Amino acid sequence: MKRAITIITLLVSSVNLSAQTKNPVTTVVKGIVPKQQKNLVAAVEAMPADKFGYKPTPQQMSFAHLVLHMTESNYALCAKASDMPQPKHDELKDADGKDKLLAALKSSFDFCNTALAKVDDSKLGDTIEARGGRKEPRAWALIALTNDWADHYGAAAMYLRLNGLLPPTAQPKK
């Protein structure tokens, strides 16, 4: 009974906190960033450098290309969400080594953290140019960003498992 009361109290507290949040959408996205950043960076760190060329099938991208794609997606979507220009950075290639690709991924998350700090819910309805030149509300960039992080982590976890490695979220608790 005491546990049930504690759980109900926590739920009520979170509802009250949510009701008081001025920018609920952007606050939630900003809260998602640290976990996704930690998991995605840890997944890339876990893959041995000699496995960055690994492809589960010939039709799939290599692990290196997945990291490149994560990096470019972070830059593009965080720029769209924040209306900030993407920073200049080295053009990445699949042949770039683990160290360069990992550093680029970390840098893209640094940009996202800076860019998203400036975002609030007041401009989520503004029109932006999305992939392929489509016109979408700015909210699309935030939703695409969080969807991409989940998709990218799922892909990275699969690549790790196919190489006999446990992804970060499957590691035993220390």
Per-residue pLDDT reduced to its tens digit, 141-168:
999 999 999 999 999 999 999 999 999 9
Number of domains observed in the structure of the chain = 1
Q: The domain containing residue 139 runs over which residues? A: 23-170
In angstroms, the CA 70 to CA 89 distance is 14
Count each helix (H run) and each strand (E run) in the chain, helices first. 5, 2
% residues pLDDT > 70 (the chain): 89
At residue 174, the pLDDT reads: 79
Whether 5 is in a domain gets the answer: no
In angstroms, the CA 84 to CA 82 distance is 5
Closest CA to 153 of 58, 59, 48, 73: 73
CATH of the domain at 48: 1.20.120.450
Whether 6 is in a domain gets the answer: no
Q: What are the pLDDT digits (tens) for 30-49?
A: 999 999 999 999 999 999 99
Whether 3 is in a domain gets the answer: no
Task: Assign 137 to helix, strand or coil.
Answer: strand
Whether 7 is in a domain gets the answer: no
Whether 46 is in a domain gets the answer: yes
